[in-house]
Structure 1
Amino acid sequence: MRRAEFQSHKLITAILPKGRAAPLIKTLVHERGINRINVNHARGVGRLTPLRHRGVGESTEKEIVTVIATVDEADELFEFIFFAAEINRPHGGLMYQQPLTAATLFNMPEEPEEE
Protein backbone atom coordinates (compact mmCIF):
# COMPACT_ATOMS: atom_id res chain seq x y z
CA MET A 1 0.00 0.00 0.00
CA ARG A 2 1.17 3.51 -0.71
CA ARG A 3 1.20 6.18 1.98
CA ALA A 4 -1.91 7.89 0.55
CA GLU A 5 -3.79 4.59 0.77
CA PHE A 6 -3.12 4.36 4.52
CA GLN A 7 -5.17 7.49 5.12
CA SER A 8 -8.24 5.71 3.79
CA HIS A 9 -7.94 2.77 6.24
CA LYS A 10 -8.22 2.15 9.97
CA LEU A 11 -6.84 -0.56 12.22
CA ILE A 12 -9.36 -2.17 14.58
CA THR A 13 -7.83 -4.01 17.54
CA ALA A 14 -9.72 -6.34 19.88
CA ILE A 15 -8.09 -7.84 23.00
CA LEU A 16 -10.06 -10.95 23.88
CA PRO A 17 -10.01 -13.76 26.43
CA LYS A 18 -8.39 -16.98 25.19
CA GLY A 19 -10.62 -18.97 22.84
CA ARG A 20 -12.61 -16.09 21.35
CA ALA A 21 -10.39 -15.23 18.36
CA ALA A 22 -11.06 -18.31 16.20
CA PRO A 23 -14.88 -18.02 16.32
CA LEU A 24 -14.61 -14.29 15.62
CA ILE A 25 -12.36 -14.85 12.59
CA LYS A 26 -14.70 -17.51 11.24
CA THR A 27 -17.63 -15.12 11.59
CA LEU A 28 -15.74 -12.25 9.92
CA VAL A 29 -14.68 -14.42 6.99
CA HIS A 30 -18.01 -16.17 6.38
CA GLU A 31 -20.48 -13.40 7.22
CA ARG A 32 -18.55 -10.29 6.17
CA GLY A 33 -15.99 -11.58 3.64
CA ILE A 34 -13.14 -9.96 5.59
CA ASN A 35 -9.67 -11.37 4.89
CA ARG A 36 -7.52 -8.59 6.42
CA ILE A 37 -7.18 -10.20 9.87
CA ASN A 38 -4.20 -10.95 12.11
CA VAL A 39 -4.05 -12.74 15.50
CA ASN A 40 -1.42 -12.52 18.23
CA HIS A 41 -1.29 -14.04 21.69
CA ALA A 42 -0.42 -12.32 24.96
CA ARG A 43 -0.71 -12.67 28.72
CA GLY A 44 -2.18 -10.10 31.03
CA VAL A 45 -4.33 -9.18 33.98
CA GLY A 46 -7.23 -6.79 33.72
CA ARG A 47 -7.71 -4.16 36.37
CA LEU A 48 -11.04 -5.56 37.53
CA THR A 49 -10.51 -9.29 36.98
CA PRO A 50 -10.71 -11.82 39.83
CA LEU A 51 -7.09 -12.92 39.19
CA ARG A 52 -5.84 -9.46 40.10
CA HIS A 53 -6.65 -10.07 43.75
CA ARG A 54 -4.93 -13.47 43.99
CA GLY A 55 -1.39 -12.14 43.92
CA VAL A 56 1.36 -10.66 41.82
CA GLY A 57 2.46 -12.51 38.73
CA GLU A 58 -0.73 -14.35 37.88
CA SER A 59 -2.12 -13.61 34.47
CA THR A 60 -4.47 -15.00 31.85
CA GLU A 61 -3.93 -15.66 28.18
CA LYS A 62 -5.34 -13.11 25.76
CA GLU A 63 -5.83 -13.11 22.01
CA ILE A 64 -5.28 -9.90 20.07
CA VAL A 65 -7.22 -9.66 16.82
CA THR A 66 -6.42 -6.84 14.39
CA VAL A 67 -8.51 -6.04 11.32
CA ILE A 68 -7.82 -3.49 8.60
CA ALA A 69 -10.95 -1.66 7.47
CA THR A 70 -11.63 1.19 5.08
CA VAL A 71 -12.66 4.45 6.71
CA ASP A 72 -16.15 4.01 5.24
CA GLU A 73 -16.70 0.56 6.80
CA ALA A 74 -14.69 1.01 10.03
CA ASP A 75 -17.46 2.13 12.40
CA GLU A 76 -19.94 -0.49 11.19
CA LEU A 77 -17.29 -3.24 11.37
CA PHE A 78 -16.21 -2.03 14.83
CA GLU A 79 -19.78 -2.45 16.10
CA PHE A 80 -20.11 -5.85 14.41
CA ILE A 81 -16.91 -7.12 16.10
CA PHE A 82 -18.00 -5.66 19.45
CA PHE A 83 -21.09 -7.87 19.55
CA ALA A 84 -19.73 -10.90 17.62
CA ALA A 85 -16.76 -11.22 20.03
CA GLU A 86 -19.06 -10.65 23.04
CA ILE A 87 -17.03 -7.69 24.25
CA ASN A 88 -20.31 -6.23 25.50
CA ARG A 89 -20.33 -8.83 28.34
CA PRO A 90 -18.43 -8.59 31.63
CA HIS A 91 -14.75 -9.51 31.19
CA GLY A 92 -15.36 -9.76 27.45
CA GLY A 93 -12.27 -7.81 26.49
CA LEU A 94 -11.72 -4.40 24.98
CA MET A 95 -11.27 -2.88 21.57
CA TYR A 96 -10.23 0.33 19.86
CA GLN A 97 -9.54 1.69 16.40
CA GLN A 98 -6.88 4.02 15.07
CA PRO A 99 -5.61 5.32 11.75
CA LEU A 100 -3.56 2.77 9.82
CA THR A 101 0.09 3.80 9.72
CA ALA A 102 1.66 0.93 7.76
CA ALA A 103 0.73 -2.34 6.10
CA THR A 104 2.07 -4.72 3.50
CA LEU A 105 -0.15 -5.82 0.64
CA PHE A 106 -0.07 -9.59 0.23
CA ASN A 107 -1.99 -11.60 -2.33
CA MET A 108 -2.16 -15.37 -2.46
CA PRO A 109 -0.94 -16.80 -5.77
CA GLU A 110 -3.67 -18.08 -8.01
CA GLU A 111 -4.00 -21.83 -8.13
CA PRO A 112 -3.63 -23.42 -11.56
CA GLU A 113 -6.80 -25.00 -12.87
CA GLU A 114 -6.87 -28.79 -12.82
CA GLU A 115 -7.16 -30.58 -16.13
Structure 2
Amino acid sequence: MGQSYYVSSSSLNLRVGPSIESKSIQTLSQYDNVTMLEESGEWYKIKFGDKTGYASKSFLKEGKAVTSISSYRIGATCKDGTSSSATGRGACSRHGGVSSWRTKSTKVLLRVEGK
Protein backbone atom coordinates (compact mmCIF):
# COMPACT_ATOMS: atom_id res chain seq x y z
CA MET A 1 0.00 0.00 0.00
CA GLY A 2 2.44 2.71 1.19
CA GLN A 3 5.96 3.13 2.49
CA SER A 4 6.96 2.65 6.13
CA TYR A 5 8.20 5.67 8.06
CA TYR A 6 8.78 6.37 11.75
CA VAL A 7 8.64 9.48 13.94
CA SER A 8 12.19 10.79 14.51
CA SER A 9 11.34 13.64 16.91
CA SER A 10 10.17 13.34 20.53
CA SER A 11 6.58 13.98 19.40
CA LEU A 12 4.70 14.85 16.21
CA ASN A 13 1.23 16.24 15.55
CA LEU A 14 -0.96 14.37 13.07
CA ARG A 15 -3.03 17.10 11.37
CA VAL A 16 -6.21 17.24 9.27
CA GLY A 17 -4.43 19.18 6.49
CA PRO A 18 -0.90 19.88 5.20
CA SER A 19 -0.38 23.07 7.22
CA ILE A 20 0.90 24.06 10.67
CA GLU A 21 -2.42 25.93 11.09
CA SER A 22 -4.46 22.74 10.53
CA LYS A 23 -6.12 21.16 13.56
CA SER A 24 -4.16 18.40 15.32
CA ILE A 25 -5.93 15.01 15.33
CA GLN A 26 -3.44 13.17 17.54
CA THR A 27 0.08 13.48 18.92
CA LEU A 28 2.45 10.70 17.89
CA SER A 29 5.43 9.61 19.99
CA GLN A 30 9.06 9.08 19.02
CA TYR A 31 9.59 5.84 17.05
CA ASP A 32 5.87 5.37 16.29
CA ASN A 33 5.56 3.65 12.90
CA VAL A 34 3.32 5.14 10.21
CA THR A 35 2.46 4.40 6.59
CA MET A 36 3.12 7.17 4.07
CA LEU A 37 0.23 7.37 1.61
CA GLU A 38 1.20 10.39 -0.50
CA GLU A 39 3.45 13.44 -0.61
CA SER A 40 2.11 17.00 -0.50
CA GLY A 41 4.92 19.58 -0.66
CA GLU A 42 6.76 19.50 2.67
CA TRP A 43 4.11 17.20 4.15
CA TYR A 44 3.25 13.51 3.98
CA LYS A 45 -0.27 12.14 4.14
CA ILE A 46 0.11 9.26 6.59
CA LYS A 47 -1.89 6.52 8.29
CA PHE A 48 -1.39 5.74 11.98
CA GLY A 49 -3.63 3.01 13.36
CA ASP A 50 -7.14 3.90 12.22
CA LYS A 51 -6.35 7.60 11.68
CA THR A 52 -5.23 9.32 8.48
CA GLY A 53 -3.77 12.83 8.40
CA TYR A 54 -0.77 14.97 7.55
CA ALA A 55 2.64 15.32 9.19
CA SER A 56 5.72 17.37 8.35
CA LYS A 57 8.38 15.48 6.36
CA SER A 58 11.06 16.99 8.63
CA PHE A 59 10.09 14.73 11.53
CA LEU A 60 9.67 11.40 9.71
CA LYS A 61 12.39 9.00 8.57
CA GLU A 62 12.07 6.14 6.11
CA GLY A 63 11.99 2.61 7.54
CA LYS A 64 10.25 0.71 10.32
CA ALA A 65 11.46 1.37 13.87
CA VAL A 66 11.91 -1.76 15.98
CA THR A 67 11.74 -0.76 19.64
CA SER A 68 11.84 -2.18 23.14
CA ILE A 69 10.50 -0.76 26.39
CA SER A 70 13.10 -0.28 29.11
CA SER A 71 11.77 0.17 32.67
CA TYR A 72 13.70 1.19 35.75
CA ARG A 73 12.95 2.07 39.37
CA ILE A 74 12.72 5.72 40.37
CA GLY A 75 11.67 5.18 43.99
CA ALA A 76 9.33 3.36 46.33
CA THR A 77 6.04 3.83 48.14
CA CYS A 78 6.40 2.64 51.72
CA LYS A 79 3.85 0.56 53.64
CA ASP A 80 3.13 3.50 55.98
CA GLY A 81 2.18 5.72 53.00
CA THR A 82 5.40 7.72 52.80
CA SER A 83 7.70 7.62 49.78
CA SER A 84 11.40 7.11 49.25
CA SER A 85 13.75 8.00 46.40
CA ALA A 86 15.85 4.90 47.19
CA THR A 87 15.74 2.25 44.48
CA GLY A 88 17.32 -0.77 46.11
CA ARG A 89 17.76 -2.68 49.33
CA GLY A 90 16.98 -0.66 52.40
CA ALA A 91 14.33 1.50 50.77
CA CYS A 92 11.55 2.14 53.32
CA SER A 93 13.42 0.13 55.99
CA ARG A 94 12.21 2.52 58.70
CA HIS A 95 8.68 2.75 57.31
CA GLY A 96 7.45 -0.87 57.35
CA GLY A 97 9.06 -1.92 54.07
CA VAL A 98 8.19 -1.36 50.43
CA SER A 99 4.53 -1.41 49.41
CA SER A 100 5.28 -0.84 45.70
CA TRP A 101 8.06 0.35 43.43
CA ARG A 102 7.62 3.47 41.30
CA THR A 103 9.01 2.91 37.81
CA LYS A 104 9.61 4.87 34.63
CA SER A 105 9.53 3.37 31.14
CA THR A 106 11.39 4.56 28.06
CA LYS A 107 11.00 3.44 24.45
CA VAL A 108 14.42 2.46 23.06
CA LEU A 109 15.22 2.14 19.34
CA LEU A 110 16.84 -1.23 18.59
CA ARG A 111 17.12 -0.94 14.80
CA VAL A 112 15.46 0.37 11.65
CA GLU A 113 14.23 -2.12 9.05
CA GLY A 114 13.44 -1.64 5.38
CA LYS A 115 15.40 1.53 4.65
Please tell me the TM-score bracket, short chain as reference.
Answer: under 0.3
- In our comparison, the structure showing a higher alpha carbon Rg is 2
Query: What TM-score comes out, normalization by structure 2 length?
Result: 0.25
More helix per residue: 1
TM-score by length of 1: 0.25
Greater percentage in strand = 2
